[in-house]
Amino acid sequence: MLHLYQNTAYMEEVAELWKRVSAIPDLIGKTFLISGATGMIGSLTTDVLLWGNRYAGADSRVVALVRSPEKSRERFDGFTEKDGLLLIEADLMKPLDMQ
């Protein structure tokens, strides 16, 4: 699997995107629900928010809906609930059980 967190160009882009997000103060300290968190758009969004938590003290919570817990643990390797990440296994074609 591609380890994007070791890719300098990708991480520079994530940091640049964070600068744009952090310019919107209403987004800091909020909870975000991201479906398809291991997909292209969902994973980039998740990475930006987690970067903000880890390196800029954004204090946000990222609730990531994923179909494959194994794939998501590998994709977001190194991030935990301490970083504001909560992984929930779900298929949006089925009723969502949040218990």
What pLDDT, on the 0 to 100 scale, is given for residue 9?
Answer: 95
pTM score, whole prediction: 0.87
DSSP 44-61: HHHHHHHHHHHHH----E
Angstrom distance (rounded) from CA 85 to CA 35: 13
pLDDT tens digits, the chain, 99 residues: what are they? 557 888 999 999 999 999 998 888 888 899 999 999 999 999 999 999 999 999 999 999 999 999 988 889 899 998 999 999 999 988 877 876 666
